[in-house]
Amino acid sequence: MPMTLFLLLCTLRFATINADESTLTMSKYYCSNCRTFAPNSIYQANLKRVLHDLVSNASSDCNEGFFFTSSQAVDGSFMCRGDVSKRECANASKTQASK
């Protein structure tokens, strides 16, 4: 009986989660070395290339909500939640890449 009650409460808990949250926010941000870099440097060119690839592939039909790219010392990836459309994912990726 206690196990049945526990399972019922868990089911009800998940049933009450509001899935209508339309505001997308980046849930993780990681920067191991957040120092600035020189304008027109190789690093800046690589960073722009990675951000361009991420944004371009966010709306591609070839990915399943995840994409990884790398350009020398710059890595980038995104992963979209399953309840987010490809259009919303692409828009969120584009918005974050422009910051």
| Tokens linked to 75 | 């890595």
| Residue 80 falls inside a structural domain | yes
pLDDT tens-digit series, residues 35-72: 677 888 888 888 888 888 877 777 666 656 666 677 77
- 50 vs 73, higher pLDDT: 50
**Domain tally, the chain:** 1
Mapped onto helix, strand or coil, the DSSP state of residue 89 is helix
pTM: 0.49
In the chain, the amino acid numbered 13 is R
Q: Which of 10-14, 61-65, 86-90 has the lowest mean pLDDT?
A: 10-14
Domain of 60? 41-99
89, 63 contact by CB (below 8 A): no
Residues in the chain: 99
pLDDT computed for residue 31 by the predictor: 62
| Residue 72 falls inside a structural domain | yes
| Residue 89 falls inside a structural domain | yes
